[in-house]
Chain A
Amino acid sequence: MTWVEVNAAPELIHTPPLRLKQKSADRTALNTDMYCLLKCSPLILAVAVCHGWLFGDFVGKQKELDEISLWPLPQKFQSSAVAFKLSPGSFQIVHAKQSSAGPSCSILVNAFRRYFEYMFGDLKKHEKSRKKVYDSDLAELQVWITSADPECDGYPSLQADESYELSVDEPSAVLKAANVWGALRGLETFSQLVYRDDYGANNINKTDISDFPRFAHRGILLDSSRHFLPLKVILANLEAMAMNKFNVFHWHIVDDPSFPYMSRTFPDLSQKRKGAYHPFTHVYTPSDVKMVIEFARMRGIRVIPEFDTPGHTQSWGNGIKNLLTPCYSGSSPSGTFGPVNPILNSSYDFMTQFFKEISTVFPDAYIHLGGDEVDFSCWKSNPDIKKFMVQQGFGTDYSKLESFYIQRLLDIVAATKKGYMVWQEVFDNGVKLKADTQIHVWKERPQYQDEMAKVTAAGFNALLSTPWYLNRISYGQDWVNIYKADPQNFTGTDAQKKLVIGGEACLWGEYVDATNLTPRLWPRASAVAERLWSDKSVTDVGNAYKRLVQHRCRMVKRGIPAEPLFVGHCRQEYMGL
């Protein structure tokens, strides 16, 4: 009755982690140290784990290979079979004495509590209350912020230093980072190292980690226009993003179907004539937006809003008169509307005021301006536009008109001191762009590798999304192809490769709302997370499968309904519903 599994899944499960085996010859030499330290050059790094050793007196239970469930895999990782116990009653996460951050650092204080909950939250009270500390216990994790400014009250940025060093040893583990952003990533890693043995005790192995992201921009796009996404869903996904070390929430907040963003300057956009699906239940109020930004900041996640123009703006027209181009049927207006009307000064006046608001509401240095899929048929039908085309000497090349609009829009946004991201069409159409513009590659044709090469050859920063349109679903383990895509896999110079600042997993909203968003996104987006964080050489699908299965169960345990990768079970199944 069920189909024969056509996927490579069973094979995946049994693929041995080859790199590990290559290293096993070193075992005896290291044995004498009673501490397994594997030198992991970036190239042969994957999972360096020691297991199955017989150390006579160790109290701690050795960690089984399948317990290693770090995701995304750190850049440098050394671990030994020496295990320490963590007692929920006495274990603490504390600020190191030398740290520049202290109890007033709300980001860290909140993170300490959050990660303590993740690690021990499911334990019963009496299990947490064991106060006695044993020799083999790990008493605390010290978090040491090294730079003078820990950035406790700041916002993460493209330039944020997310690197950290983590050393787990008796009696304390130490997490060292330049500022809070690196510390957040390190706390996540620490929480992933803690595992429960068969007797329910919490263990952590002696470990040294030195970690940093491969790409600075690691994003998730959610579309709150095609379906409204309740705040709760957005916040839950920010949590899941932090578990996967994503650092950008690309909020595709408005589009043709609805305008849920409640603007202070132009409240009619969401409140009038069905701009939003419903002016009260299906909107994001200013305080909602604030909450999303703060919730994200606490997790080291940037919030980049997208206000896509001149196309994809049907819903804008409901609240702003004369913003959209009236389409004509024959010689009279047909009653329908097209893209933003690029020939009226009022359009630019509106955009100036509107983006002034956006630039103050959203603290990030970048705004996504869209610019994709502009349909010219309405412009072509409109006699005023045609006249304007003649005046400007554009002939019948409407992409020139689009460029004309975008050019002026970019000037407007540049005046707000913001940088901008645009979809690839803007670049393809030859619009003059500021040097720090980020070009977002999403099209399947031409091949995205060619487009990445072209964009970077022109000296622009490039972001990749084409292979990561996760709204497109198919039967089976499609995370494998997601995992295999690499943003730097194109022909170009090293300088060009460096211009690739990262990528984004996109979950467009045609078929997605609160009912199915989370299981559709996770753990498929986790594959993107590892590609963007871990070393380029981390490509072993068999090894990734094992870790991802564990990581998925961890997300489930933390309350994220991440769907299964294949047949099997988690110790703690999803109990929501």
Chain B
Amino acid sequence: NLCLLFFQSPVRSCLLLVVVSVCVQQVHGVWPLPQQLHQSADRGCLSPQRFSFTYGRDSAAQTGCSVLDAAFKRYFSIIFPDFTKGSGLLMCENQSNRLSVKTGGCDGYPDEDSDESYNLSVSEGQAVLRSVTVWGALRGLESFSQLVYQDDYGSYFINKTEIVDFPRFAFRGLLLDTSRHYLPLHAILKTLDAMAYSKFNVFHWHIVDDPSFPYQSRTFPDLSNKGAFHPFTHIYTQSDVMRVIEHARMRGIRVVPEFDSPGHTQSWGKGQPGLLTPCYKGGVPSGSFGPVDPTIDTTYKFMESLLKEVKFVFPDSYVHLGGDEVSFACWQSNPNVRKFMEKMGFGKDFTKLESFYMESIMNMTAALNRTSIVWQDVFDYHERIPQDTVLEIWKGEKYQAELSRMTQAGHRVLLSAPWYINHISYGQDWRNSYAVQPQNFSGTEEQKKLVIGGEVAMWGEYVDATNLTPRLWPRACAAAERLWSNEEKTLNADLAFPRLEEFRCELLRRGIQAEPLFVGHCKHEYDGL
């Protein structure tokens, strides 16, 4: 009882051309591109009245699985937006469509080993989505929702389709910076929605930095009381953080917080006296402060308490420890630090002091059973790094050489350097992001495997709630496809362009304020402001 079209009269065969052209378009209509996708021009109707999601009889997950129950609800209104508004002409009847989901394991949180693969088979009257975990089911639901389209009369269709899909990289992240500008909770939640549409799976929350400390710590409330832009309106309370984590979990997204030290900590000093190094000028304290003071015990006690809290609050097994851009000028000026250097036999090499500090907190993190991520600086200047530490490349030039060196040393690596999309320029700069080849460096197959993924970074110097969303989307989608899809099948940006345009319009239809790629229009334009 599938609504197939039969063409008998000449008039109908005219229709055929139209239909085929629609279908041809639809063949490419999934972003990021699935690993294997076969579509036929045969299409079936979906009736919102009859369509339903059901758990497969042999599925390990059944009604009551929070992640999927919520996802069914979400995707129903994504697929049938008009229906929820109570309008829409439905031309096809007598259909009973079901998307049957067969999956296993309704786990708590997605993690680095989560299996996100899925198989989707859309055939007459029924579609079947198979996955090992609920996280795979989420990815499959997203693809399914992108396959559904409406004709000019408002009827919903889906073509006969077979998809076998899995991500190329396990770590597909997006960084938001909530310190340089405060981002209201709803801006973060909205970003998580859009991330799920693009199959991103890690939200790297650069939550604090020099300008402000919006994280409200349960152990050290003064950090935000004194270090946030405003102690009440510009903070993330514990319940805000929990809401972000839960919103992300429902979409199969991990939340990895970054507490960057010893540099980038000016805002920490306001609520934690004695933490930062006092800078000296002419033999006396100048009143300004430098990086975290690595020479005193209280620093490590504080960091240990903070990291314990972080472990308690953030369920993910990864923590980003920063470690970038440490300026040595203040350390150099401080007589106590110099004395300490002498005692430790570091000579005049302040990188050794930095190394000493980072090693301590990385060990602390390991003792808490958490994996550290650190910026490339830590690897560049230091020799001893715990083997399971993940290194993140951010410096623009020669990132290929850095990839070689790091993987040669046996470390797992994240690539972010070519995806600093806070850097804007005129024109279609998504093409640069799309052209990145994360495994294109000299190294063995084993080395290539150590590249576990990458991150799009949206640093906050010039970004807040007013411009975040259109600056992120659809520009971040380019990296999303690079990190998910088969590189061989997605080398050509010109071929990707129409599919990305279509996806951008789909984002608009879903309420994501994604900016245009070029001249043109969408059926459903953004109607906010």
Binding site for B on A (CB under 8 A): 1-5, 226-228, 230, 232-233, 236, 257-258, 277-278, 281-282, 471-476, 509-516, 518-520, 556, 559, 561-569, 571, 573-577
With a CB–CB cut-off of 8 A, which chain A residues contact B325?
A: 1-2, 4
**A5→B423 CA distance, assembly (Å):** 12
Chain A CB within 8 A of B343 CB: no
**B184 close to A233 (CB less than 8 A):** no
CB-contact partner of B462 in A476, A511, A513, under 8 A: A476
8 residue pairs of the A-B complex, CB under 8 angstroms, read A282-B521, A474-B426, A510-B518, A515-B469, A516-B470, A567-B181, A569-B229, A569-B464
Please, which residues of chain A bring their CB within 8 A of the CB of B523?
278, 281
Asked if A576 contacts B528 (CB within 8 A), the reply is: yes
Which of B426, B520, B525 has the most C-beta atoms of chain A within 10 angstroms of its own C-beta?
B525
Candidates A471, A475, A561; contact of B423 at CB < 8 Å: A475
Complex interface: stretch among B294-302, B478-486, B509-517: B509-517
Q: B375 in the interface, Cβ–Cβ < 8 Å?
A: yes
Nearest-Cβ distance from residue B325 to partner chain A, whole angstroms: 7
Determine if B519 and A227 form an interchain contact, defined as CB atoms under 8 angstroms apart. Answer: yes
Query: B141-179 toward A: CB 8 Å interface, digit per residue (1/0)?
Result: 000000000000000000000000000000000000100
Separation of A520 and B322 alpha carbons in the complex (Å): 31
Residue contact A515 to B521, C-beta cutoff 8 Å: no
**Least CB distance, B505 to chain A, in whole angstroms:** 11
CB < 8 Å neighbour of A513 from B233, B394, B424, B525: B525
What is the CB-to-nearest-CB distance from B522 to chain A, in angstroms, rounded to a whole number?
A: 9
B212-A474 in contact (CB<8A)? no
Q: Tell me the bound Cα distance from A563 to B471 in angstroms.
A: 11
B residues less than 8 Å from A232 (CB atoms): 527, 529
Among B422, B424, B464, B519, contact of A573 (Cβ-Cβ < 8 Å): B464
Q: How large is the interface on B (under 10, 10 to 19, 20 to 34, 35 or more residues)?
A: 35 or more
| Cβ-defined contact, B465 with A277, below 8 A | no
- Given known pairs A2-B459, A516-B467, the reply for A567 and B180 (CB within 8 Å) is yes
A residues near B186, Cβ cutoff 8 Å? 577
Name the CB-closest residue of B to A2: B459
Contact assessment for A257 and B182 in the assembled complex, using a CB-CB cutoff below 8 Å = no
Chain A residues, CB < 8 A from B460: 567
**Residues of A with C-beta under 8 A to B520:** 227, 257, 277
Q: Closest CB-CB distance, B472 to chain A, in whole Å?
A: 11
B457 touches A1 (CB 8 A): yes
Residues in A neighbouring B457, C-beta threshold 8 A: 1
From the candidates A226, A476, A563, name the one contacting B466 in the complex (CB within 8 A): A563
Please tell me if the beta carbons of A473 and B426 are within 8 angstroms of each other in the complex: yes
User: In the complex, A282→B521 CA distance in Å?
Assistant: 9
| Apart from A511-B515, A515-B515: 6 A-B pairs, beta carbons within 8 A | A515-B470, A562-B466, A565-B462, A566-B462, A569-B234, A577-B187
List chain B residues, Cβ under 8 A from A227: 516, 519-521
Within the complex, what minimum Cβ distance (angstroms) separates B517 from chain A? 8
Query: Which one of B233, B423, B465 has the greatest number of beta carbons of chain A within 10 Å?
Result: B465
Chain A residues near B525: list those with CB within 8 A: 228, 230, 281-282, 513-514
**Most interface-central of A1, A233, A476, A514 (chain B CB within 10 A):** A1
Contact at A475–B424, with CB atoms within 8 Å?
Answer: yes
A-B contact number at CB 8 A: 160
| Most-contacted residue by chain A among B184, B206, B519 (CB, 10 A) | B519
Q: Is the CB of A519 within 8 A of B526?
A: no
Q: Is B308 an interface residue (CB 8 A)?
A: no
- Contact code string B195-222 (vs A, CB < 8 Å = 1, else 0): 0000000000010000110000000000
Q: Does B427 contact A (CB under 8 A)?
A: yes
Asked whether, in the complex, the Cβ of B521 is within 8 Å of the Cβ of A278, the reply is: yes
Q: What residues of A have a CB within 8 angstroms of the CB of B187 in the complex?
A: 577
Q: How distant is the Cα of A577 from the Cα of B467 in the complex, in angstroms?
A: 9
The 5 closest A-B pairs by CB, nearest first: A516-B470, A519-B467, A561-B466, A277-B521, A569-B229
B425 at interface, CB cutoff 8 A: yes
B23 at the interface (CB under 8 A from A): no
B342 at the binding interface (Cβ < 8 Å): no
A473-B519 contact given A556-B466, A564-B466, CB 8 Å threshold: no
Main secondary structure of the interface of B (DSSP, over half): loop
Is B508 in contact with chain A by the CB < 8 A criterion? yes
The distance in angstroms between the C-alpha atoms of A350 and B241, with both chains bound, is: 63
Please, how many angstroms separate the alpha-carbon atoms of A563 and B520 in the complex? 24
Query: B516–A563 contact, CB under 8 A?
Result: no
Measured between beta carbons, the chain A residues less than 8 angstroms from B516 are: 227, 511-513, 515-516
A233 vs B513: C-alpha distance when bound (angstroms): 14
Q: Are A519 and B466 in contact (CB under 8 A)?
A: yes
Which residues on B sit within 8 Å (CB–CB) of A513? 515-516, 525-526
Q: Which of B382-422 contact A (CB under 8 A)?
A: 392, 394, 396, 416, 420, 422
Residues of B within 8 A of A1 (CB): 206, 260, 322, 324-325, 375, 392, 394, 416, 457, 459
* Closest B residue to A232 using CB positions: B529
Residues of A within 8 A of B521 (CB): 227-228, 258, 277-278, 282
At the interface, yes or no: B190 with Cβ under 8 Å from chain A? yes
Indicate whether B461 reaches chain A with its CB closer than 8 angstroms: yes
Contacts of A475 in B (CB 8 A): 422-425, 462
Task: Name the contact of B527 in the complex, choosing from A230, A512, A569, A573 (C-beta under 8 A).
Answer: A230
A563 touches B464 (CB 8 A): yes
Query: What chain A residues lie within 8 Å of B12 (beta carbons)?
Result: none
Alpha-carbon separation in the docked complex, A251 to B339 (Å): 68
Does B38 have its Cβ within 8 Å of any Cβ on chain A? no
Question: With A227-B521, A515-B513 in contact, is A573–B508 under 8 Å at CB?
Answer: no
Cβ of B243 within 8 Å of any chain A Cβ, yes or no, is no
A484 to B515, CA, bound (A): 29
Q: Are A236 and B394 in contact (CB under 8 A)?
A: no
Asked if residues B461 and A561 are in contact (CB atoms below 8 Å), the reply is: no
Q: Does B353 contact A (CB under 8 A)?
A: no
Cβ of A553 to closest chain B Cβ, rounded Å:
11
Q: Which residues of A contact B517 (CB under 8 A)?
A: 511
Instruction: Tell which of B457, B459, B460, B467 has the most Cβ of chain A within 10 Å.
Output: B467
Q: Is B463 an interface residue (CB 8 A)?
A: yes
B281 at interface, CB cutoff 8 A: no
- A473 with B424, Cβ < 8 A, contacts A519-B470, A577-B528 known: yes
Closest to B258 in A: A1
Expressed in whole angstroms, the Cα–Cα distance for A236 and B186 within the complex equals 22
* Distance in angstroms between the alpha carbons of A513 and B505 in the assembled complex: 12
Considering the complex, give the chain B residue whose CB is closest to the CB of A555: B466
Closest chain B CB from A144 CB (angstroms)? 35
Q: 0/1 per residue, B271-289, Cβ < 8 Å to A?
A: 0000000000000000000
- Tell which of B233, B375, B519 touches A226, judged by Cβ atoms closer than 8 Å: B519
B489 contacts chain A at the CB level, 8 A cutoff: no
Q: Could you say which of B396, B461, B470 contacts A566, with CB atoms under 8 Å apart?
A: B461
Which residue from chain A places its CB closest to the CB of B212 in the assembled complex?
Answer: A569
Contact B464 A564 (CB under 8 A): yes
B50 contacts partner chain A, Cβ-Cβ < 8 Å: no
- Does B230 have its Cβ within 8 Å of any Cβ on chain A? yes
Assess the A561–B518 pair: CB atoms within 8 A.
no
Docked CA distance A487–B464 (Å) = 32
Instruction: Check if B184 sits within 8 Å of A515, measured CB to CB.
Output: no
Closest residue of chain B to A511 (Cβ to Cβ) is B516
How far is it, in angstroms, between the C-alpha of A226 and the C-alpha of B518 when the chains are bound? 8
Which of A258, A574, A577 has the largest count of B CB atoms less than 10 A from its CB?
Answer: A577
Residues of B113-162 at the interface with A, using a CB-CB cut-off of 8 Å, are none
The CA-CA distance from A515 to B519 in the complex, in Å, is 13
Give the residue name and chain of the A residue nearest to B234 (CB). A569
